[in-house]
Amino acid sequence: MNYTDNFLRDILTSTKTVAMVGISTNPIRPSYFVGRYLNLKGYRVIPVNPMYPDQTLFNEPIRAALADIPDDGPIEMLDIFRRPEHVLPIVEEAIEALLPRGLKTVWMQIGAINDQAAKLATDAGLNVVMDRCPKIEHQRLFGELRKAGFNTGIISSKLAR
């Protein structure tokens, strides 16, 4: 699971629309924070979670399933916020519902490692990223970590003197 910076940068620069499976409406959950960050960076984020019927997030209706996303443009990336044992059926659904709509990448969040799903996606011609976060990678690759955040000393758990 070693990905080159060029590989990740190419994905993040060529992607315009991201379907996020398992996103939460709770603003303190990591999935919400990642979706909000991507949305603020200009990505169209399509939230997918059957637990939030009739709600919207980032000006998009929350869909119950990938197949429920209307065909109103390409979806280049699938970002999965689910436990590893739930990833394979999501990838199977994505190949059926989103591959014809321009899907290029399956991205599994930190902790979501499923080799069977990765092989299925790769065999379908898709890029696969596992155990990484697009928000963290975007910040790292496009220089935002120098401003605040990880390993900068600006945000720290150490007590101030």
pLDDT digits (tens, 9 = 90+) for 5-52: 999 999 999 999 999 999 999 999 999 999 999 999 999 999 999 999
Q: What are the boundaries of each domain within the chain?
A: 5-131
Tokens of 111: 């902790």
CA distance 110 to 93: 21
Listed in sequence order, the residues at least 6 apart from 153 whose beta carbon sits closer than 8 Å to its beta carbon are none
Mean pLDDT within 84-111? 97
143 pLDDT band, cuts 50/70/90, is: confident
Fold annotation for 5-131: Rossmann fold (3.40.50)
AA identity, residue 42: G
Given a cut of 50, is residue 54 above it in pLDDT?
yes
Given a cut of 50, is residue 161 above it in pLDDT?
yes
